[in-house]
Every structure is written in structure tokens, then in C-alpha cells.
Amino acid sequence: HEIRTPMNAIIGMSHLALQTQLNAKQQNYIEKVHRSAELLLGIINDILDFSKIEAGRLEIEEIPFELDDVLENMANAIAFKADEKGIELYFDIDNDVPKTFIGDPLRLGQILLNLGNNAVKFSNEEGEIVVVVKLRNENHSHCCLEFCVSDNGIGMTPEQKGKLFQSFSQADSSITRKYGGTGLGLAISKDLVGLMGGDIWVESEIDKGSQFFFTVNLGYRESERTNIQHSVKPHLNILVVDDSETAREVLHSQLTSFGIQHKVVSSGHEAMTLLEQQHIQPFDLILMDWKMPHMDGLETVAQIRQHASICYQPKIIMVTAFNSNDMEEETKHLDIENTLTKPVTASTLLEAISRSVGVNKVAKTRLKSANDNTAFAHILGGLHLLLVEDNEMNQELACELLDAVGVKTTVAENGEVALTLLEKHNVDGVLMDCQMPVMDGYSATREIRKKAKYQTLPIIAMTANVMADDIAKVSACGMNAHIAKPINVRVMYETLSRILVPSKIHAITENNDPEHVEFPVNSISGVDLQKGLLSANYNVALYQKHLLKFAEKYRYFAHTLKTSIEEGRYKDVTREIHTLKGLAGCIGAQTLYQDAEILERKLNTNIHIEADEATATMLESLQRVVSSIDAVDAQLTATESLQNDSIDVETFTARLHQLLDLLDDYDTEAVDVVEELNRNAKGLSCEVISELECIAKALRLYDFETATTHANKLLNIV
């Protein structure tokens, strides 16, 4: 671990040096230093994992996770290098594979990432990498999955295959010289597969590519084994346009599993011909690949929109494996409904289709029991937690989620305040943000652990930084576990249950969620509504509130950021970008989240020269999100204004009685009712509006008694 600090300095400084004016010889020397330093850092990381395995100190976790999340992380990790080589990545997941498992997602992801990185490294330019997932066997609580990562690269001879999976060994020395690498990746993967009760092997021919297979044994819940819920219109007709045979096969398989009628073609010209002929049952939607030979997706869309003989204009989703920012720029003037990034999973495909065809609902296609609060309330209800968090929106979100399962919270805005409150309150555990002003979470945890009475107090980190180093830092300072931001509600409840009351975790049962949640608009540009709603535990009112607060907080952020950068306050800038990243994740602004993460990384490694471009990109994404939220807010406000022209006092009074019932039950749904009453109070007296504000203020502090007092006053007034 100690070697990494100077290594990061070497990598950062050599990168900075490469941005300056150098002669050819200097450029050559420093490039070699930079590449060698990156290689050495990779070797160090591999050796750390390998030494843990050899010492028997590497343990496999048993936690709930979703396969889609693991695959998505793999795709994000190798996307940049794959994009550079023009390589497309595909996921081909059998329909009978469950969506949710119990096991170690981090280590499963590590195996896939090792194999994925190798596939990119050895694949030909403009090649393909396919990840196939099959169900080998199953019983009521466990199953065996088989993964295959295939490429069309250089392949291997039988002799080379025999040397694989050995520590510090590659197929031959020429591969090390040409492609680099430690020779540990496959050895580590083999050991990890073994720890998960599986096996790993390879099939390969020289110049014909390689197929790496491995199996793992995982737990799963039979009750969660459900097919993706349909949220699309009946009799939908879709056209798939993609020059890649693999892409066509994957999309065909997924659409068939949904029961959606579709046709598949391999070029823009074929699509035009088919559209001209399809009069009786026209296509409702086209899944259009962007990069195709002869006539690419953008040219095809332009022709479709201008073609007079195509009477029924279908909606279009542009599918791409390449830089989506470039595509967004090029599609501004085209009538394109949505974009979808490869590799496409069944859930992301269905979500994109649902949004595009005008279904005014967001399908809950993932973890079915995300909103199953009853079981977790049985486990966690009555606990008292200290929440240490400096951001108001994150405070509100965490308090709402904890209150939903009966957990009382006391809030501290930084580590210093937390130390004071800890002496005043008897709490069952601490939820600790890591990056805060005054005193951060790491320092606060170290101070807490100095006192004997707090040696066993559960402390759980909440952080948007989830790399191996970050997790190691969390553990090193004395925290028991971590919850990643943006918060996955189910994982948060599971983690709290596992750490705070492990004896009760068996009591978790599964209840079916409603298939859909209503949302007032179909889409918000730059925002994934599905992810945002999931972060808010599918509480639509809470999510809408977070969207508006986000827009309000960051509407003039560009000016603030510019001033801080000009004054050289990079520490403050880094903390602000970290907060922005976390909040962007909470509302589902994925592109903004990624842009903020890139900028934060550059600031953390002191690459301030290169941060200028990253700052501009991030601010552009931020402006797009804020403008979209403002536009939606204006639309909804106008609609509400029309709806509220005449006030129904009888309805207002009935809702007020309902509010009193909710307050009597200490039910946080009261917040939603108060907001509705506020909207419908236009035209009523100032006294009514004042009492509503008092109720809202009391509820923000979870003071139900005061809220009830003001609600009764309001009832007498009305």
C-alpha cells in the first residue's frame, strides 16, 4: 500500500510533463516512464490480491446483488480502451438466468474485468467481444452460472494455452513485450473462481480468437426469479437496424423474450426499403445502430424523416457503442426519441422502449423487493442511528429511507459535530459520509475508536468513491462496512441489517412490488428516471423534490466553480465536485455523474492542466440537466395552475382529515399530502397557507405532534 503513493506521484507528474513542450528524445523518455509506472502500479495491485489469496485472507462475501450491475460495471471499465480500438461489446444472457443473486459481486466483477481487459488487449481493430451467461443447474436456493468471454483476436496455440493460469506467466515472452501485463490476472481469476466453487478453462485457435469459460456457484431467491415485467404497449412492432450479426442476434433474442413483434435488417438501405413497403402494419419504433458502413444511422434517420412515401413516422432509438457525447452533438437537429448505449441488457432495452413509446410509467424491471419495507422494518425498526452528512439533500434522502423502516436518526453536518452528538445520544450505529468540511469521516472514525466505549460501535461509510483503495481506506480507519452512493435502497437496508442486527437477517421475506409507479413526465433529458426513482425508493414526490433542489443548488454553479479555480482553491473545488457527483447519481443523471467522476479523478491526481477540458464537459452536462429539470418544472407548474383554477373546499377538507390520520400513525406519507394541500391552497386565506407551512416545517423535523396541532388548527379555519 505504501508503494502506491510515490507511484501515483510518478504517474501524475510524468503525465503533466507530457503536456509541456518537449523535444522528440524527451517525449520518448517520459512516455516510457509514464507507461512503465502505470504497468508497475498494475503489478502492485495484482500482487496485493495474489498475496491475500495465498495467505488465505481473501474472503468471499455473501450479499445480494444484481447481475446487470456487475456487467454494467465491467462495460464501463473497459469502454474507453474498447472505443479506442473500435471494438463493440455485447451481453448475451439466457432468458432463464435469474436477475438477482447472493454472492460476491466485487470478485465476480474482478474475474469478468480481467477477462474483458485481456479480450480488448488481444482483439483486432473493429472487433467484437461477447459475454454469454447461461444457467448450468439450479435448486431452490443455489445455482451454477456459466460465463463465456469471447474475442476474435490473435488466439493461442495448444502450447500457449498450457501456460495460462500460472502465476507470473503469460502465453509466451513475446506477448509480455508486445502487450504488457503482469501474468497474474488469470491466476487470480482462477483462484477467485475456485473460491466461488467453480472452474475456469479456455478454448482457442491461433488467429481465430479465444473463448474463456468459467463457472461460479451463487445463491438466489426463488421468489425473485421473475421475468422482466412488460411495460410496453400491446401489438408493438419494432425494426432493428444493425450491421453486426451478433448485435442482431442479441436484440432478436431479447425482443422475442418480451413477446414483441419485430423484424431485423443489416443496413440503412434495407431499412428504407422495408419502411416504404410496410403500410398495413407500420413500425412503431426503430432500434438504429449509429456506426454502419455505406449509410450510417444518422444518415438513415435523416432519410426516413425526409422520405415522402413513409407515411407513418416511427419513433427512433439510436443505439451506439461509441462516444455518446459525440452522438448527442450530431443528433441535436434530428428527431430521435432516445439513445441506448451498448452493451444492451434486457432491462436497459425494455426501459428505453418503455420511455420511447410513450408509456407514462417507469417499469420496475430490477430488484423486485426494493420497496419491500415491511420485512426490513421488522429487522431495523426501533434502532437509533447517527447520520453524519454535510449535504442537505443527502441528509433528507437518508432520513426518509431510514424513517420508512422505523429507524430514528440524529443528524450531524460534519465529523466534529458528530463527536459532540455521540456523547449526548445513545445510538445503535453511525452512518458516516467520508468527505466533509471541518472534519471528514475518516478522521471522525479514528477519533471515535480512540474511546474504549466506542470500540464496537458499528460505523458504516457512505461514499461515492468505491474503488479498491477507497474501500481499503474505509476499513483501515475502523469502519465496519460501506454503502455506495448513489444509494441502492435494498443494499443499504441489507448492509444495515447485516452489521447492526445480524441475528435477524434471516427474517427478510419477499413481497411483490406494484409493477409500475406513475411519474408526471415520460423523460427528462440527461436523467435516467428509473435510476433516480430507485434512489428515492420509488417515492415520486421525494424524487421530484430532489430534482428541483438539485436544479436550484447548481443553477449558478459554473460561476462559483470558475471563481474557486481562479483563486487556486482546488481542495474546495474537489470537495464540491465530489458532492455534485453524488447528487447527480441520486437523481439518475448518469452522464453528469461520469463527467464529474472524471473531473474529480483529475483534481485528486493534481492534473489541473487537463482538468480545464473535463470542467467544460462537466459544466455542459450540468447545464443540460438543470435546463431540462427547469423545463419540466415549468410544464408541471402550468398544468397545476390550470387544475387549480377552482378550489374544491370539500376535497381540501377530506384530504386534511386524511392528513390527520397519517400524522396519528406517524406515517411519512403525510409529507406528500401536505405538498398536495399546499398546491391546492391557492386562493385560500394567508392564515391557511401559514398553517400549512408550519405543518411542513414540523414534518421536516419529524415532529408529528406539532404537525398535528397545526393540522387541527387548520381544520377549524377551513
Q: What is the CATH number of the domain that holds 98?
A: 3.30.565.10
End of a domain among 10, 38, 58? Answer: 58
Residue among 252, 407, 452 at smallest CA distance from 344 = 252
Determine, yes or no, domain membership for 366. no
CA angle 17, 23, 24 (to 5 degrees): 105
Please give the grid coordinates belonging to residue 97: 438466468
194 and 70, same structural domain? yes
Percentage, residues of the chain above pLDDT 70 = 80
pLDDT over threshold 70, residue 221: no
List 387's β-bridge partners, or say none.
Answer: 411, 431
Please give the grid coordinates belonging to residue 210: 479465444
End of a domain among 359, 392, 420? Answer: 359
Q: Please report, for residues 205, 219, 363, 373, the alpha-carbon distance to residue 202 in angstroms, rounded to integers and kept in the order given.
A: 10, 25, 38, 44
Confidence band (pLDDT; 50, 70, 90) for 158? confident
End of a domain among 628, 643, 658? Answer: 643
Cβ neighbours for 546, distance < 8 A, ≥ 6 positions apart: 393, 396, 397, 532, 536, 586, 587
Rounded distance between C-alpha atoms, residue 182 and residue 168, angstroms: 6
Confidence band (pLDDT; 50, 70, 90) for 179? very low
Give pLDDT, residue 509: 42
More confident residue, 121 or 2: 121
216 and 96, same structural domain? yes
Give the three-state DSSP class for 33: helix
Determine, yes or no, domain membership for 368. no
The stretch 434-454 carries a mean pLDDT of 92
472 and 418, same structural domain? yes
CA-based radius of gyration for the chain? 27
The stretch 344-363 carries a mean pLDDT of 71
The CATH number that applies at residue 484 is 3.40.50.2300
Give pLDDT, residue 415: 94
pLDDT over threshold 80, residue 690: no
Least confident of 244-258, 490-504, 645-659, 692-706: 645-659
**Dihedral through CA 342, CA 343, CA 348, CA 352, nearest 10?**
20
- Is the distance from CB of 257 to CB of 235 less than 8 angstroms? no
Please give the grid coordinates belonging to residue 703: 415532529
215 and 73, same structural domain? yes
Count of C-beta atoms within a 10 Å radius of residue 438: 12
Please give the grid coordinates belonging to residue 560: 462559483
Three-state SS across 246-303? HHHHHHHHHHHHHCCEEEEECCHHHHHHHHHHCCCCCCCEEEEECCCCCCCHHHHHHH
Determine, yes or no, domain membership for 638. yes
Residue type present at position 338 = N
Determine, yes or no, domain membership for 454. yes
Q: Of the segments 128-137, 309-318, 343-352, which one has the largest average pLDDT value?
A: 128-137
Determine, yes or no, domain membership for 230. no
Q: Residue 381: what are its φ and ψ, rounded to 5°? A: -55, 135
Rounded distance between C-alpha atoms, residue 496 and residue 200, angstroms: 34
Determine, yes or no, domain membership for 593. yes
* Total domains, the chain: 6
Rounded distance between C-alpha atoms, residue 524 and residue 626, angstroms: 10
Q: Of the segments 380-394, 483-497, 560-574, 682-696, which one has the largest average pLDDT value?
A: 380-394
Rounded distance between C-alpha atoms, residue 52 and residue 55, angstroms: 5
The CATH number that applies at residue 701 is 1.20.120
List 385's β-bridge partners, or say none.
Answer: 409, 429
Rounded distance between C-alpha atoms, residue 225 and residue 368, angstroms: 9
Q: What's the distance, Cα to Cα, between the start and end of the chain in Å?
A: 67
Rounded distance between C-alpha atoms, residue 24 and residue 713, angstroms: 81
Q: For strands 200-204 and 142-151, give the pairing.
A: unpaired
Least confident of 52-66, 139-153, 496-510: 496-510
Task: Count the alpha carbons within 13 Å of 655 in the hemisphere toward its beta carbon.
Answer: 19
Rounded distance between C-alpha atoms, residue 218 and residue 709, angstroms: 53
Rounded distance between C-alpha atoms, residue 418 and residue 415, angstroms: 5
Please give the grid coordinates belonging to residue 495: 448492509
pLDDT over threshold 90, residue 429: yes
Residue type present at position 609 = I
315 and 422, same structural domain? no
Cβ neighbours for 97, distance < 8 A, ≥ 6 positions apart: 67, 133, 134, 135, 145
Count of C-beta atoms within a 10 Å radius of residue 544: 20
Determine which helix (DSSP H) or strand (DSSP E) holds 65, and give its type and residue range.
strand 63-66
Rounded distance between C-alpha atoms, residue 489 and residue 500, angstroms: 16
Residue among 587, 711, 678, 665 at smallest CA distance from 403 = 665
- Is the distance from CB of 445 to CB of 479 less than 8 angstroms? yes
Whose cell is 475456485? That residue is 194
Give pLDDT, residue 326: 58
Least confident of 98-102, 161-165, 188-192, 245-249: 161-165
- Is the distance from CB of 147 to CB of 213 less than 8 angstroms? yes
637 and 591, same structural domain? yes
Residue among 307, 345, 301 at smallest CA distance from 133 = 345
333 and 282, same structural domain? yes
pLDDT over threshold 70, residue 377: yes
348 and 214, same structural domain? no
Give pLDDT, residue 279: 66
CA angle 370, 372, 374 (to 5 degrees): 150
Please give the grid coordinates belonging to residue 453: 466505549
Determine, yes or no, domain membership for 364. no
More confident residue, 105 or 307: 105
Confidence band (pLDDT; 50, 70, 90) for 46? low
Whose cell is 416545517? That residue is 697
Q: For strands 408-412 and 384-388, give the pairing.
A: parallel
Give pLDDT, residue 606: 64
Rounded distance between C-alpha atoms, residue 72 and residue 346, angstroms: 12
Determine, yes or no, domain membership for 148. yes
CA angle 251, 253, 257 (to 5 degrees): 115
266 and 205, same structural domain? no
- Is the distance from CB of 634 to CB of 549 less than 8 angstroms? no
Residue among 79, 103, 113, 77 at smallest CA distance from 188 = 113
Give the three-state DSSP class for 694: helix
List 211's β-bridge partners, or say none.
Answer: 150, 203
DSSP 222: G
Cβ neighbours for 216, distance < 8 A, ≥ 6 positions apart: 103, 108, 111, 144, 145, 147, 193, 196, 197, 198
Give the three-state DSSP class for 559: helix
Rounded to two decimals, the pTM is 0.49
Q: Residue 256: what are its φ and ψ, rounded to 5°? A: -65, -40
449 and 377, same structural domain? yes
553 exposed, middle or buried (CB, 10 Å; 0-12, 13-18, 19+)? middle
Whose cell is 461514499? That residue is 463
More confident residue, 392 or 446: 446
Look over the chain and give the mean of its residue pLDDT values, rounded to a whole number. Answer: 80
119 and 54, same structural domain? no
Tell me the residue range of the domain where 539 lies. 519-643
688 and 597, same structural domain? no
